[in-house]
Amino acid sequence: MTSVLAVAKHAGVSTATVSRVLRGSLPVTAETRARVLEAVEQLGYQPNEMARSLRSGRGRGVALVTGDIEQGVYAALARDVQAELESIGLDLLLFNLGHREDRLHHLLERAPSLGLRGVLLSSPHVMDMARIGPVVEAATAAGVDVLSVSQDLSDFGLRSIVHDNVGGAAAAVRHLCGRNRGPVAFIGRIATSAIGRARFEGYRKGLAEQGQAPDPTLVWDISHGYRADAGYRVTGKALADGLRFRSVVAASDELAIGAMAAVADHGLSVPGDVAFSGFGNLEWGVYCRPSLTSVALDTEAIARAVGQTFSAGDNGAALPACRVIPTQLIVRQSA
């Protein structure tokens, strides 16, 4: 592979000058610049990223830490963040925890030696900050930007970019109550998911607006399970137990479709007997029948905010500690 040295010789300059032209840092004569660029062009020179990283102290990689990339929302986030990072010359490394949260600690520990430019935490799990805190600080001190892109961790000094989960869930409850769809049940991970908690909080808030409080028998915490099957089982059990509810706010579209299947398999109709609202506004929710009413999340906006943070450089201090991205209820057939 051709190196700076080859380019320098070809252009009749020093390696320092080549580097300066390519960095665009210090001033260089227009003609020197042109000669260097021509040499780069002719030799097809590509700067060695490993050498550059070593010398400058860190690389261009940003790790996205997900809990479960197979969930539609995280796949969308990965896509949008990758596109955004690529546009500013950064690479996305994917770390899927698969709900084994202990691996996060290990990754954060290694982040500086890997030369990571940043770490984006998007696992919804409730973070054990007592354990994670020290290693986050060490990474930050070493120049790794650690951001939270799912839950608000600004109290722990982590810049956060989060959806308005409370507002989204409250809007769903408001919509359902407006159509006289009470009692409203809730399905989500509450004990183990910070996002689930926020959505439950929105559910509670929405009910409070109607002068109601959550009925504990209609709050279904599926912290032991995940995705559609959890929604299916918990809803099936509720029906078998004879609980009365006219609608369900599910903390994800996956949970919602599982719950709808349970209702259908129980011989009830959607939305006639039970109405549903999900979270994520995933594509398949638009095409299942009945189509799924859902709180839309704006992963592109998250990605843009992430990009801003990495572009900000030293004046990043001006950015807010916690940025909240609005959510929007999209009404379809299920509610």
Partner DNA sequence: CTGAAAGCGCTTACAG
- Neighbouring residues of 137: CB distance < 8 A, sequence distance ≥ 6: 157
- Binder of residue 131, out of DNA, a second copy, none (CB less than 5 to 8 A by kind): none
Subset of 30-69 contacting a second copy (CB under 8 A): 46-51, 53-54, 58-59, 61, 64, 68-69
CB of 210 to a second copy, least distance (A): 30
Residues that bind DNA (CB under 7 A): 1, 3-5, 12-20, 22-23, 25-29, 31-33, 45, 47-48, 51-52, 54-56, 113
Q: Give 269: exposed, middle or buried? Use CB within 10 Å, 0-12, 13-18, 19+.
A: exposed
Between 84 and 152, name the residue whose CB sits nearer to a second copy. 84
> 312 touches which of DNA, a second copy, none (CB within 5 to 8 A by kind)?
none
CB 149 within 8 A of CB 120: yes
**d(C-alpha 152, C-alpha 125), whole Å:** 12
Distance from C-alpha of 43 to C-alpha of 256, rounded to nearest angstrom: 57
User: Phi first, then psi: what are they for 126, rounded to 5°?
Assistant: -65, 120
Shortest CB 280 distance to a second copy, Å: 11
* Distance from C-alpha of 136 to C-alpha of 68, rounded to nearest angstrom: 21
CB of 84 to a second copy, least distance (A): 11
Nearest CA-CA partner of 263 in 254, 273, 255, 253: 273
Binding residues vs a second copy (CB under 8 A): 1, 46-51, 53-54, 58-59, 61, 64, 68-70, 72, 74-76, 78-79, 82-83, 86, 91-96, 98, 109-110, 112-115, 142, 227-229, 231-232, 254, 257-258, 260-261, 264-265, 283-284, 286-289, 291
